[in-house]
Amino acid sequence: MTNETVARVGREQHVFAFGPDLRPVLEVDPGSVVRLDLNDCYFGQVRSEADTPDTLDDALINAATGPVAVRGAMPGDTLVVDLLEITTGPQGAATLMPGRGQLGHLLEKPTTRILTVEGGTVRLGDHVTFPARPMVGVIGVATGGEVAPTLDAGPHGGNLDDNLNAAGSSVLLPVRQPGAMLAIGDMHAAMGDGEVSGTGVEIDGTVLVRVDVLRGVQAHWPVTVTPTHWVTHGTAVEDLTAAVDAACQEAGRLLVDEWGFSVEDAFVFLSVACDAGIAQAVHPCPGTVIAKVKVPRVDACPLPFRPR
């Protein structure tokens, strides 16, 4: 728990899209700590198993709390978001729709399951328990020009659905507009790589972050830094190979441009020491798929950017 002064943004302050014209609900200095209250991805529409996904208003999906402007953040910079704490509520939900996800062809009707969270454990039904792994699905900033719904992911971040975006990690987002305009949502008490049904344990809660700015440096895509790895991302529309290619190319570019690897050495290192993986790959379901590449924090490349 931090002893620093904390600003707070309530869940009633939210957006459903990242665009170039976002207006802040809060403005803070670099180094500030902010607590954001998050809606669950269903915007409170799912309270019981009678609230099936076919009854929901899709226009209310994936509200992101914010935006928060960071003074002095300018295009060409990187916004650093340290995820200090993620605290979930006591009850979450997962929903299923026929035709959505890798097993969607086996479903006969829309279904909702209510899951409880207590003492770091998630309970599904009477017999299944597993550890909670709280994370945020949506974390992003204002775009360079296009408007991106919070259901999508891209160079601005957005619905990255990477379960490495958890407490103890930092997310580095390329700043496209003055102030960056950070917004966060779509909390999960747990979510597996791929999120193959299209849902994690969707839940409300709070996230405590520290924001800072790296001046004059940025990646093309968001990068997550964990205690052991830095992680590049790539997204594409319903084309997982293209997303993997983008994540690999980003990792390779940073190894070459920031750390002086040759292209050949970067390619070998990516293949023998790094892990390409899937963050989001629910299919069929029109939208973005997200790949990630985990680069170990060894002496030759301890961070995505060489210290300035």
**Structure confidence by residue, pLDDT tens digits, 23-64:** 999 999 999 999 999 999 999 999 999 999 999 999 999 999
Q: Which of the four pLDDT bands, split at 50, 70 and 90, describes residue 123?
A: very high
What pTM does this model have? 0.96
Q: How do the residues of the chain divide into helix, strand and coil, expressed in percent and rounded to 5?
A: 15, 40, 50
- Note whether residue 305 is domain-resident: no
Q: How far apart are CA 102 and CA 195, in angstroms?
A: 10
Which residue range is the domain that position 140 belongs to? 6-296
At 60-113, the pLDDT tens digits run 999 999 999 999 999 999 999 999 999 999 999 999 999 999 999 999 999 999
Q: Which of 14, 33, 23, 27 is nearest to 185 (CA)?
A: 14
- Predicted confidence band at 284 (pLDDT cuts at 50, 70, 90)? confident
Query: Is the distance from CB of 22 to CB of 16 less than 8 angstroms?
Result: no
Query: What pLDDT score was predicted for residue 257?
Result: 98
Residues 166 and 157: beta-carbon distance below 8 Å = no
> Is residue 263 domain-resident?
yes
Q: How many CA atoms lie within 13 A of 127 on its CB side?
A: 0
Q: How would residue 304 be classed by pLDDT, with cut points 50, 70 and 90?
A: very high
User: Per the structure, how many domains does the chain have?
Assistant: 1
Residue 257 lies in a domain: yes
Question: Is the pLDDT at 118 greater than 70, yes or no?
Answer: yes
Percentage of the chain with pLDDT > 90? Answer: 95
Q: For residue 181, is pLDDT > 60? A: yes
Domain membership of residue 168 (yes or no) is yes
Say if 159 falls within a structural domain: yes
Domain membership of residue 307 (yes or no) is no
In a domain? residue 135 = yes
- What is the reported pLDDT for 287? 83
Work out the pLDDT band at 283, boundaries 50, 70, 90. Answer: confident
Q: Domain containing 162 — which CATH number?
A: 2.60.120.580
Distance from C-alpha of 159 to C-alpha of 151, rounded to nearest angstrom? 6
- Predicted local confidence at residue 308, as pLDDT: 83
Q: In this structure, is residue 301 part of a structural domain?
A: no
CB 263 within 8 A of CB 255: no
**Within 10 A of 71 (CB to CB), how many other CB atoms are there?**
14
- Over residues 284-297, the mean pLDDT reads 92
What is the C-alpha separation between 293 and 223, in angstroms, rounded?
Answer: 10
